[in-house]
Amino acid sequence: MNSILDLILRLDCWLLLAPLLPGIINKVKAWVAGRRGPPVLQLYYDLARLWKKGVVMSTLASPAFVVLPAVTWVAVLGAAMLLPLGPLGAGLSFRGDALLLLYLLALGRFCTAWAAMETGSAFEGMGTVREVSYAVLAEAAMIAAVLSLSVQSGSISLAAMLAPAMGASAALLAAGLFIVLLAENCRVPFDDPATHLELTMIHEVMVLDHSGPPLAVILHGAAMKLLLFTVLLVQAVLPMAHLKPLLAAAVLAGGVLAVTVAVGLVESLLARFAFRRVPLLLTTAFLLCLFALLVAWKGGLP
């Protein structure tokens, strides 16, 4: 019974709280611009509205066009369930679950790209190429970050990797993971989720032909992915294994809120980078995570 309640509570955290993060980001951006902005719960309203609409499909698209967004959503949720959630711990923990986390995120990206190509649109193909080209460098930074945590803890299990303090490499890892968070979730300066300029759209153009429930699934999955990277960043830099449950929950919630506000401030104060500058920023993220790995490895030497 306790395991069932734990699973329900964990699912509620990921499914119900994820849409809050885009709302907070939009509220921060509106506050910086001196506007009232949309309500924090706007994404909940959008999801409910989309779920009631019908699905419009291209005549060239196969049934995979509708199925693949669901596969992406399941992959992101599966990756989220592997991630320890403060005092709740990990829903499923085993040796090597950090590797499965990376593979599930890669599977979600593959399915999103496949669904975008289903329509046979050169426009969506252009966005898919940009998304995948950015992902090559972002995944390299993620692998370096995971290796850094693994060297520090001596384990490849997320529950153990996120438990010890990172020490001197925490600042490097935090900076690198924050850049990866912006890239993986298509935020400024890599992409602008509010843009409608055809020549600069990346992720938005990939889901341009989706509608109704599939689009709702895509938007909710994107919110869960943002929450996943935020929780990973907070727990990698501020381990909470030795804190009391209530204090750990408060630290996790405060850290998630701080990172979310930081994303909103970045989108308010920075402009979108030109395409030629994006690889340089992602390379910087990789180097930061690599330096964190070197510091963790050197610090473990006698």
Given pLDDT bands bounded at 50, 70 and 90, which one contains residue 148? Answer: very high
Q: What is the pLDDT of residue 301?
A: 46
Q: What is the pLDDT of residue 93?
A: 83
Q: What is the pLDDT of residue 7?
A: 82
d(CA 100, CA 102): 5
Q: What is the pLDDT of residue 2?
A: 64
Tokens of 298: 């050197």
Count of H-run helices and E-run strands, the chain: 12, 0
Q: What is the pLDDT of residue 164?
A: 65
Res. 297: pLDDT tops 50:
yes
Given pLDDT bands bounded at 50, 70 and 90, which one contains residue 90? Answer: confident
Given pLDDT bands bounded at 50, 70 and 90, which one contains residue 262? Answer: very high
CA distances for 287 relative to 144, 265, 301, angstroms? 9, 24, 21
Q: What is the pLDDT of residues 210-226, one digit of tens each?
A: 999 999 999 999 999 99
User: Is 172:288 a contact under the CB 8 Å cutoff?
Assistant: yes
Helix, strand, coil fractions of the chain, as percent rounded to 5: 75, 0, 25
Res. 302: pLDDT tops 50:
no
Nearest to 175 by CA among 294, 288, 25: 288
Q: Tokens 């509106």, residue?
A: 30
Strands, E assignment, 32-85: none
Mean pLDDT computed over 32-38: 92
Tokens of 208: 């341009």
Q: What is the pLDDT of residue 60?
A: 86
Res. 200: pLDDT tops 70:
no
d(CA 225, CA 87): 20
